[in-house]
Amino acid sequence: MKTKLIIPALLVLLTACSDDTITSDQLSKNAIPVDVSKIERGTFKSSVELVGKLVPSRQEVVTSKTALPIAKIHVHNGDDVEKGTVLFTLENSQLKQQLSQATSIVNTLENTKIELQGIVGQQQAAQAQIKSIINSSIEQVQKAEIPEQQELKKDVIGALEELQTLSPQGTPTTSSALNLVNQQLQQARAGVNQASKAIQATTITAPISGTISEINVTEGMPALPSQPLAIVSGKNNVKAVFSANKHQVALLKEKMNSIVSTGESNQTYNGTIQSISNEVNKQTNTYTVTVPLGKTNDRIKSGELATGTFMTYSNKNALILPVESLLFDDGKTYVFIAKNHQAIKTRITIKKEQKDVVQVDSGLKEGDLVITNGKYQLTNGSKISFKK
Digit-coded pLDDT (tens) for 77-131: 888 899 999 999 999 988 888 888 888 888 887 887 788 778 777 777 777 776 7
Asked if 132 and 251 sit in the same domain, the reply is no
Q: Whole-angstrom distance between the N-terminal and C-terminal Cα of the chain?
A: 53
pLDDT at 176: 75
pLDDT tens for 272-298 read: 999 999 999 999 999 999 999 877 766
Cα separation of 94 and 172, whole Å? 41
Q: Residue 237 pLDDT more than 50?
A: yes
Q: 232, 247, 276: which is the final residue of a domain?
A: 232
**7 in any annotated domain:** no
Q: What is the mean pLDDT of residues 254-261?
A: 94
**Domain span at 121:** 94-200
pLDDT of residue 5: 35
Query: Would 16 be classed as within a structural domain?
Result: no
**Is the pLDDT score of 4 beyond 50?**
no
pLDDT given for residue 363 in this prediction? 96
For the chain, the domain total comes to: 3
In angstroms, rounded to a whole number, what is the distance separating the alpha carbons of residues 201 and 235? Answer: 26
User: Are 257 and 362 within one domain?
Assistant: yes
Q: Is the torsion defined by CA of 84, 86, 91, 95 positive or negative?
A: positive
The model's confidence at residue 264, banded by pLDDT at 50, 70 and 90, is confident
Q: What is the pTM of this model?
A: 0.51
* Class of residue 209 by CB neighbours under 10 A (exposed 0-12, middle 13-18, buried 19+): middle
Mean pLDDT across the stretch 147-175?
60
How many Å apart are CA 153 and CA 144, to the nearest integer?
8
pLDDT surpasses 60 at 15: no
φ, ψ of residue 226 to 5 degrees: the values are: -85, -5
Same domain, 245 and 103: no
Indicate if 321 and 209 belong to the same structural domain: no
In a domain, 8, yes or no: no
Which one of 200, 222, 245 terminates a domain? 200
Is the Cβ–Cβ distance between 348 and 335 less than 8 Å?
A: yes
Which of 192, 210, 232 represents a domain boundary (last residue)? Answer: 232
Q: Which residues fall within 8 angstroms of residue 347, CB to CB, at 6 or more apart?
A: 332, 333, 334, 363
Mean pLDDT of all residues in the chain? 83
Cα angle 259, 265, 268 (rounded to 5 degrees) comes to 20
Q: Do 241 and 287 belong together in one domain?
A: yes
Tell me which H or E stretch contains 190. helix 172-200
